[in-house]
């Protein structure tokens, strides 16, 4: 039914996928469920989550779809989710940090942090850290971070990471996607000895809800020049489940191939500074 074989190839594997209530994340969840994985979906809207869970079970025949509440715009909610996850599961094999937003105006998370930075970078930073023990227990295990080619628009603004002095929607979103790549690069060598790989990707320009606040008028014609969510999920699914990326880590991928990201994304000093900054923000 999807771009990975249906069946039981992922039987006994546990996967956590964020942002699976729509777009690329939903297609990723469908594919992993079709291959037999137990799929855990942290969602902020349980009603929407229930509908998606029913749809995934109905289309794949997989009943091991687990919904848990998690608002990525709240550190407390992320911690509550990981506590619940750890009570129910001893290990984790696949973590897909897919959820993302693109805010038009300056807005803040429950912790008072600029929204693009908070949801797109600090949330997966915290979530990943809190799940590292379970990923180690599930090794060999994989982390996949959904970044974007938009990272090329900016360097990291360490003087004002939340753009409080002068908000730019494009720079703020792009910086959060740059942060996904810097995080991936810094984390990869730290967890290699534990049998955990971490890669990130650009999914293409995909017709999803992501652009609703930025360019709402694009919606009716999006399907004409944008990829479908199913197509957009291909590289995520490849990195999460494919045999070819076995052992590959720290990479940025586009169309299932490793690609060189921007110079700013290859800056190891910036990656370390961002790491330290993110630890301060999240209290890790």
Ligand X SMILES: NC(=O)c1ccc[n+]([C@@H]2O[C@H](COP(=O)([O-])OP(=O)(O)OC[C@H]3O[C@@H](n4cnc5c(N)ncnc54)[C@H](OP(=O)(O)O)[C@@H]3O)[C@@H](O)[C@H]2O)c1
Helix locations, 118-266, DSSP H: 123-137, 169-191, 222-225, 229-232, 234-241
Supply the minimum distance, in Å, between the C-beta of residue 70 and ligand X. Answer: 6
Residue nearer to ligand X on the CB measure, 152 or 258: 152
Give the separation between CA 127 and CA 119, rounded to whole angstroms: 11
Q: Can you give the binding site for ligand X, defined by CB under 6 A?
A: 19-25, 44-45, 48, 71-73, 98-101, 119, 146, 148, 202-203, 205-206, 208-210
Helices (H) and strands (E) in the chain, counts: 10, 8
Residue 153 designated active-site: no
Among candidates 64, 49, 17, which has minimal Cα distance to 240?
17
Q: Is 283 exposed, middle or buried (0-12, 13-18, 19+ CB in 10 A)?
A: exposed
Task: Give residues with Cβ within 8 angstroms of 215, minimum separation 6.
Answer: none
Supply the minimum distance, in Å, between the C-beta of residue 206 and ligand X. Answer: 4
Among candidates 243, 144, 247, 249, which has minimal Cα distance to 200?
144
- Work out whether strand 141-146 and strand 14-17 pair parallel, antiparallel, or are unpaired: unpaired
Supply the minimum distance, in Å, between the C-beta of residue 51 and ligand X. Answer: 10
Supply the minimum distance, in Å, between the C-beta of residue 150 and ligand X. Answer: 6
CA dist 11 → 62, 94, 171, 233 (Å): 10, 12, 41, 20
Residue nearer to ligand X on the CB measure, 55 or 192: 55
Catalytic residue among 153, 173, 252, 281: 173
3-state secondary structure (DSSP) of residue 43: strand
For 239, the token pair is 């990195």
Supply the minimum distance, in Å, between the C-beta of residue 42 and ligand X. Answer: 7
Active site residues: 173
């Amino acid at each position: 039914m999807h771009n990975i074989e249906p069946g039981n190839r992922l039987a006994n594997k546990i996967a956590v996928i964020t942002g699976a209530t729509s777009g690329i994340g939903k297609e990723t969840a469908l594919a992993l469920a079709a291959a037999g994985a137990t799929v855990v979906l942290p969602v902020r809207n349980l009603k929407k989550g229930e509908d998606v869970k029913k749809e995934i079970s109905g289309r794949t025949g997989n009943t091991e779809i687990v919904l848990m509440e998690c608002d990525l715009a709240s550190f407390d909610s992320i911690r509550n989710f990981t506590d619940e996850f750890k009570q129910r599961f001893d290990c984790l094999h696949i973590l897909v940090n897919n959820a993302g937003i693109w805010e038009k105006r300056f807005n803040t998370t429950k912790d008072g942090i600029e929204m693009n930075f908070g949801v797109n970078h600090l949330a997966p930073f915290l979530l990943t850290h809190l799940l590292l023990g379970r990923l180690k227990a599930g090794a060999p295990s994989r982390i996949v971070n959904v970044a974007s080619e938009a990272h090329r628009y900016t360097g990291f603004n360490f003087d004002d990471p939340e753009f409080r002095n002068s908000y730019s929607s494009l720079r703020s979103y792009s910086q959060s996607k740059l942060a996904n790549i810097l995080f991936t690069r810094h984390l990869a060598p730290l967890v290699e000895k534990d049998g955990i790989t971490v890669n990130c990707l650009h999914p293409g320009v995909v017709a999803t809800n992501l652009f609703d606040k930025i360019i709402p008028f694009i919606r009716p014609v999006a399907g004409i020049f944008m990829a479908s969510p199913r197509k957009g999920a291909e590289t995520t699914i490849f990195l999460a489940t494919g045999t070819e990326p076995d052992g590959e880590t720290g990479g940025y991928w586009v169309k299932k191939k490793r690609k060189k990201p921007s110079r700013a994304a290859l800056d190891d000093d910036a990656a370390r500074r961002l790491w330290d900054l993110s630890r301060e923000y999240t209290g890790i």
